[in-house]
Amino acid sequence: MESRIVTPGPYRATKLWNEITKYFRAGMPVKKHRQNLKSYGSCFTATEAVDWLHELLRNNNNFGQEVTRQQTLQLLRKFLKNHVIEDLKGRWGSENVDDDNHLYRFPTNSPLKTVPRHPLWRRSSTENVAKEKDRGFKFPHFSRRTPKKSDSPSDKENIENLQDEILDHKKDVLVHSRELSQEDVAEIWRNIVLIHLQKILGLPSLDDVLDPTQINPHSVMYNMNNTSKHGVVVLQNKLDDLPHWVLSAMKCLANWPRSNDMSQPTYVGFERDVFRTIADYFLNLPEPLVTFQYYELFVNILGLLQPHLEKVAVEALQLCCLLLPPPNRRKLQLLMRMISRISQNVDMPRLHDVIGTRSLMVQTFSRCVLCCAEEVDLDELLATRLVSFLMDHHQEILKVPVYLQVAVQHHIDYLKKVQIKYPGIEVSAMLPAYSFCKQISTQEFEEQKRSTSQAAMAELLENIIKDKALSLKDKKKKLKQFQKEYPDIYQSRFPTTESEAKLFADRPTIKQPMLTLKKPKFQKLRY
């Protein structure tokens, strides 16, 4: 049966549950079975259900090949608990399901769950942006409010009078530069992240996926600016870090058998004991590494884990992992580095008698990475999907996205541009209480973003060219680097090699020969 991709959106976990439930009820073969000398029609054994459901989940694009038979059995037990199936006596709820020949059937009533219609949070992201607009921060492409129109003639007249008054005060204009507080900068970070997330997920609103107040911009800034040479977050408070014995154990397995931090094992099964020690620490954390508050957000990112959307999913997870508290991000980085190395290490002895190394890593650490505060029926399958993708792409996902820093800096520079102030008049007091918003299309937004970025890069190039403090060598080095990163902009500024050479034409490229101090040779004169 062909699977349908459940795209990102509100209550995605509930929609996935309904999707699997419908497929299971529609496709699971039922037939006549005999049990205890009696014949029962339209039923199936638990083993038959596990076989069929396991194959369904592995071939479903929302879950993938990492789903194990044990996880499938756990899902079948949740089906019984939620009355998707029942036993032959009509019992469901508290009974257990084993991988055996006990018979089950489908009830007549629909087991589908109702998708809530109301948003999860009352304060929407648009309200957050409106608050920033009052401070002077403009995010027109992120606003979904209907533009307000002024129908009052008196309002129009006031605006015209205000314009005349401004023209009369032109001679007395004072120029000053806007000062941005730390709180202003933090709110810029918050809104830039929200804008990028909404664009990546392709949602009209993030209201039902993420509460904007839950984003801590200071965590984002710390995760961006405090990293080691390997890109791992460096914590100032060592009490928030992993215990020393856990770090030593992780380093031992990650570098097996070439660990320099611990002595070589002296007994068989040493590596298994070390692995259990690490697993016990992470499994006993009070909260998953991606934290409960971001559960819905990460579940929606899983909707992008398709072959043709792999780059989009990586970019989305880059942003989401930046939202984590620094201690959580550091633990997630070190954990992913370790389990990725272990799963690829051909010299690592088997850590489990039955389960392969990669599957063991995914099954062991999935629930300490992602789970809901209240148990959700598909928690384990969704967590498995996330950890499997993180293992394969952790280097890209957990590195610092430079483009985000550039976007924030551009906006800060824009806000710091020169403004006009009129003596004795507060501009905010002069303007009407209402504001105008113009909604633009996605194509217009993309064109504005591209043109703004190109203009900023062109301005940077001009600054390098005109910087008299730079030596000739440093200027050439910076221009060479700029040409490599932005060849189109560089080509438009220097269309020919002659135009490029002209820049350095007024500077001598060959050193003048030093004055010789040798005595001139005179020919001997004979008389």
Looking at residue 398, what DSSP letter applies? T
Tell me how far apart the alpha carbons of residues 365 and 361 are, in angstroms, rounded to a whole number: 6
Q: Which residue has the tokens 């120029």?
A: 175
φ, ψ of residue 523 in degrees (nearest 5): -75, 140
Q: CB within 8 A of 298, min separation 6: which ones?
A: 290, 320, 370, 386
Strand-pair category, 174-177 with 86-87: unpaired
The closest of 260, 249, 256 to 282, measured between CA atoms, is 249
> In this predicted structure, what is the pLDDT of residue 375?
72
Rounded distance between C-alpha atoms, residue 234 and residue 227, angstroms: 5
Predicted pLDDT of residue 424: 53
Does the N-terminal peptide bond of residue 257 adopt cis geometry, omega within 30 degrees of 0? yes
d(CA 135, CA 219): 22
Q: What is the DSSP string of 18-33?
A: HHHHHHHHHHS--EEE
Q: Using CA atoms, how far apart are residues 438 and 136, in angstroms rounded to an integer?
A: 16
Closest CA to 299 of 183, 411, 389: 389
Spell out where 108-205 has E strands. Answer: 174-177
**For the whole prediction, is pTM greater than 0.85?**
no
As a whole number of Å, the end-to-end CA separation of the chain is 119
Residue type present at position 305 = L
Complete edge-to-edge strand list for the sheet that includes strand 103-105:
31-35, 38-45, 103-105, 86-87
Distance of CA 190 to the CA centre of its chain: 13
Residue 266: the pLDDT is: 66
Cα R_g (the chain), whole angstroms:
32
Q: Are 16 and 35 in contact (CB under 8 A)?
A: no
Pull the structure tokens for residue 58. 């592995």
Select the CATH number that applies to the domain covering 228-399 from these four: 1.10.1740.10, 3.40.50.300, 1.10.555.10, 1.10.3720.10.
1.10.555.10
pLDDT 10s digit of each residue in the chain, 527 long? 455 677 776 778 888 888 899 999 999 999 999 888 888 999 999 999 999 999 999 888 888 888 889 999 999 999 998 899 999 888 888 778 899 999 999 998 877 777 665 444 433 444 444 444 444 444 433 333 333 444 444 445 544 554 454 455 444 444 455 678 889 899 999 999 999 988 888 888 887 788 888 899 999 999 999 999 889 999 999 899 999 999 999 999 999 887 655 555 568 888 999 999 999 999 999 999 999 999 989 988 888 888 788 889 899 999 999 999 999 999 999 999 999 999 999 889 889 988 999 999 999 999 999 998 877 678 889 999 999 999 999 999 999 998 998 999 998 888 877 555 555 554 444 333 334 455 667 777 777 777 777 788 888 888 888 887 888 888 888 888 888 888 888 888 888 877 777 777 655 545 555 545 455 555 555 54
Residue spans in the chain of domains classed CATH 1.10.555.10: 228-399
Helix (H, G, I), strand (E, B) or coil at 300: helix
Distance between CA 116 and CA 114 in Å, rounded? 6
Q: Which amino acid is at 120?
A: L
- 450 is written with which tokens? 């591209």
What number does CATH give the domain 12-105? Answer: 1.10.10.10
Cα→Cα distances 390→250, 254, 301, 321, Å: 18, 17, 12, 11
Q: What is the pLDDT of residue 169?
A: 45
Residues of the chain with CATH 1.10.10.10: 12-105
Q: 509: phi > 0 → left, psi -120 to 50 → alpha, else beta; which?
A: alpha
Helices within 36-181 (DSSP H only) = 46-58, 69-81, 125-134, 153-168
Closest CA to 144 of 126, 128, 120, 130: 126
CA distance 435 to 266: 74
* Those residues with Cβ within 8 angstroms of residue 348's Cβ, 6 or more apart along the chain or in another chain: 253, 256, 271, 342, 357
- Asked if 71 and 388 touch (Cβ cutoff 8 Å), the reply is no
